[in-house]
Amino acid sequence: MNPFWLLRMAKWARNPPSSGRVKLVLAVIAFCLALYAVERWVGWPDALSTERMRVPTRVMP
């Protein structure tokens, strides 16, 4: 483990984040998990999918 991470953990142990920030992070994680679950069960809409453009091949005579 990098010593920088140990210093960061020590700083967070001395000054923990506010409850509002913790709630915000948990809400973002919950939203991402919900979006992933919907995408897995329902599927990705075709309107939001990108289509590969076909590159015309040049035939040499």
Using the predicted structure, report yes or no on whether residue 8 has a pLDDT greater than 70: yes
CA distance 25 to 31: 10
Over the stretch 9-46, which tens digit does the pLDDT of each residue have?
899 899 998 999 999 999 999 999 998 998 888 887 77
CA dihedral 8, 9, 15, 20 (to 10 degrees): 100
In the chain, the amino acid numbered 51 is: E
Weakest-pLDDT range from 2-11, 40-49, 51-60: 51-60
